[in-house]
Chain A
């Protein structure tokens, strides 16, 4: 399963839109992350999604990086 981001911010209303360092997401929703999105994230931030959001209490990261499946460093 590709990476999935579940966003749950207790201070903002459900449906409020977030920019997660280049990935759009709505509060209370989840986002399926494609390999292309991962590559764009890595290029923009110099770090993988798991490196930046792996410890977040707001954004839960699950699944496996598509880049890792492709032999990348994700």
Chain B
């Protein structure tokens, strides 16, 4: 087979009905890059036998892990979010994802919350089928004016599969004219006012500290994926205009921050498709302001950590999508 280009590849996904049992893909997701890989710790024998080089090797436990970078498309993003550590709900064309109060401990319990994914990747016409996959973390960010997302995927096994039959749908991207950032006082249901027009970049990051767990069984693949502490952050920079949010940082006054990326209308209710990333209680971890140079704009760079809030959710992700997840 001759060498192939990345552009000829394809990524398809399907929600599993039994965790770790492969399902051929029905949803095909255009990606920008992927690095899902077989990850193994081999055992190298350090027997002492009058030599200083290891004398044998045995295959070890393995799992699959890597990043999938994609442009956020409301048509397919819910399939990924259903496979992350959330309690999903669906009403009137809108998927809502909030962290469950206790948080799921692992993918071992089944395929409800979160669902697990079979991910099929074709590289140069060679098919890789990754199973038992979950989204162990993700990062939404605006880059070149377009909302993008990097999914950190962890799964339990990989095997060759049949070549999939792709069904591509038209892209529905969220470009530079789709985004609006809002700031408000922290509350379980914040009251957001006018759009804040001073932001230069926006990153909404989740890390569920997912880890593949290998248990003693007659197989080398992982048994399931566990989750740890949820680390949720927002990172951005904005024009530095006054001390308001610097003082909030110093006084540990929490804020609510929301990014809406919408197509078709300026409001989530009336848009045709879109996503709203909302943090209800954010504590500024850092709020840096400096004179970077004679010709540089004075910007404020901040990192905010999302924290729990009484009678509400630390954050929510809403997606208005034409898709129906069954």
Q: Report yes or no: A58 in contact with B26, Cβ–Cβ below 8 A.
A: yes
The reply to whether B167 and A7 contact each other, CB–CB distance below 8 Å, is yes
- Please tell me if B326 contacts chain A, counting CB pairs below 8 Å: yes
Is A34 interfacial (CB 8 A cutoff)?
Answer: no
A41 at the interface (CB under 8 A from B): no
Cβ A17 vs Cβ B169 within 8 A: yes
- Taking CB atoms and an 8 Å cut-off, the chain B residues in 153-200 that contact chain A are 162-163, 165-170
The answer to whether A11 and B323 touch across the interface, beta carbons within 8 angstroms, is: yes
Task: Contact check, A17 vs B170: say whether CB atoms are below 8 A apart.
Answer: yes
Interface string of A51-65 (1 = CB under 8 A from B): 011011111000000
User: Chain A at the B interface: mostly helix, strand, loop or mixed?
Assistant: loop
Task: Tell me the smallest distance from the CB of A49 to a CB of chain B, in Å.
Answer: 10
Structural contact, B322 and A57, CB atoms closer than 8 A = no
Give A16 to B169 CA distance when docked, in angstroms. Answer: 7
Q: Across the interface, do A20 and B26 meet the contact criterion of CB distance under 8 Å? A: no
Q: Is B238 in contact with chain A by the CB < 8 A criterion?
A: no
- Nearest B residue (CB) for A49: B165
Is B167 a contact of A59 with CB atoms below 8 Å?
Answer: yes
Q: How many interface residues does chain B have, given as a range?
A: 10 to 19
A17-B170, A57-B26 are contacts. A11–B165 as well, Cβ < 8 Å?
Answer: no
In the complex, A56 Cα to B168 Cα: how many Å? 14
Interchain residue pairs A-B with the least CB separation, the first 9? A56-B165, A19-B168, A53-B165, A18-B167, A13-B322, A58-B167, A11-B323, A11-B324, A52-B165
| A16-B322, A55-B162 known; A9-B167 Cβ under 8 A | yes
Q: Which residues of B contact A19 (CB under 8 A)?
A: 167-170
- A10-B324, A11-B26, A11-B326 given as contacts; is B168 within 8 A of A18 (CB)? yes
Q: Which of B27, B167, B170 is close to A20, meaning CB atoms less than 8 Å apart?
A: B167
Q: Identify which of residues 210-247 in chain B touch chain A, using a CB-to-CB cut-off of 8 Å.
A: none
Q: Is the CB of B166 within 8 A of A21?
A: yes
Residue numbers in B under 8 Å from A13 (CB-CB): 322, 324
Chain A interface residue count, CB cutoff 8 Å, equals 19
Q: What residues make up the interface of A, taking CB atoms closer than 8 Å to B?
A: 7, 9-13, 16-21, 52-53, 55-59
B325 interface residue per 8 A CB criterion: yes
Task: Judge if B24 is at the interface, Cβ distance under 8 Å.
Answer: yes
Task: Point out the residue from B166, B170, B326 that lies within 8 Å of A10, measured CB to CB.
Answer: B326
Cβ contact within 8 Å between A52 and B325: no
Bound-state CA distance A56–B26 (Å) is 9
Instruction: Tell me how far the C-beta of A51 lies from the nearest C-beta in chain B, rounded to whole angstroms.
Output: 8
Contact at A12–B166, with CB atoms within 8 Å?
A: no
Contact B166 A11 (CB under 8 A): no
B162 touching A9 by the CB < 8 A rule? no
Tell me if A55 and B165 are in contact (CB < 8 A). yes
Q: List 14 A-B contacts (CB under 8 A).
A: A9-B26, A10-B326, A11-B27, A12-B322, A12-B323, A12-B324, A13-B324, A17-B169, A19-B169, A20-B168, A21-B166, A55-B162, A58-B26, A58-B167
Contact bitstring B305-326, A, C-beta under 8 A = 1, else 0: 0000000000000000011111
In the bound complex, CA of A20 to CA of B164 (Å): 12
Chain B residues contacting A56 (CB-CB under 8 Å) are 165, 167
CA distance A18 to B322 in the complex (A): 14
Contacts of B75 in A (CB 8 A): 12
Q: Within 8 Å CB of B324, what residues of A?
A: 10-13
Question: A53 — which chain B residues lie within 8 A by C-beta?
Answer: 165
- Residues in chain A near residue B165, CB distance under 8 A: 52-53, 55-56, 58-59
Q: CA–CA, A20 to B165, complex, Å?
A: 8
Shortest CB-to-CB span from A45 to chain B, Å, is 10
